[in-house]
């Protein structure tokens, strides 16, 4: 979780958008989660759940709802836009890594069952 948040903060510091920062941070830790899941023979979601807690925009959601209740719609929309941007970055990062890993695992499985892997070149 510390690593994910650190990458997120560094990306924000160098001027990246909230979406891009969340995407990069979550993509990196999602890849680590996939690797740890294969090594430890455990579901990936166990690692992702723990790692993503610091990146989830809890305070942004809190302030968005606070502004909404105070009828401060300008600040509400600005804050909620940031929450949606971070949430979309998290979702896209997990999805891209998950689909890529599944695709690579399928290709690896297909190649290992092919005629070339068995030495039958006819």
Which pair of tokens denotes residue 64?
């968005």
Mean pLDDT of 70-98: 94
**Would you say residue 71 has pLDDT above 90?**
yes
Task: Compute the distance between CA of residue 4 and CA of residue 60 in angstroms, rounded to an integer.
Answer: 18
Instruction: Tell me the H-state helices in the chain.
Output: 2-13, 18-40, 44-52, 58-69, 73-112, 115-118
If you search the block for the tokens 């600005």, which residue do you land on?
78
Predicted TM-score (pTM) of the model is 0.83
Task: Compute the distance between CA of residue 118 and CA of residue 45 in angstroms, rounded to an integer.
Answer: 35
For 6-49, the pLDDT digits (tens) are 999 999 999 999 999 999 999 999 999 999 999 999 999 998 88
**Would you say residue 115 has pLDDT above 80?**
no
Q: How confident is the model at residue 118, as a pLDDT?
A: 59
How does the average pLDDT of the chain come out, rounded?
89
Mean pLDDT of 84-112: 92
């Amino acid at each position: 979780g510390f690593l994910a948040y650190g990458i997120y903060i560094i990306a924000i510091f160098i001027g990246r958008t909230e979406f891009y920062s969340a995407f990069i941070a979550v993509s990196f830790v999602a890849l680590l989660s996939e690797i740890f899941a294969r090594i430890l023979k455990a579901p990936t979601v166990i690692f992702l759940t723990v790692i993503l807690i610091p990146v989830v925009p809890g305070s942004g959601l809190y302030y968005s709802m606070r502004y909404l209740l105070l009828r401060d719609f300008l600040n509400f929309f600005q804050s909620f836009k940031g929450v949606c941007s971070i949430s979309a970055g998290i979702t896209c990062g997990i999805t891209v890594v998950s689909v890529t890993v599944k695709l690579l695992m399928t290709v690896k499985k297909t190649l290992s069952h092919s005629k070339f892997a068995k030495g039958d070149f006819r």
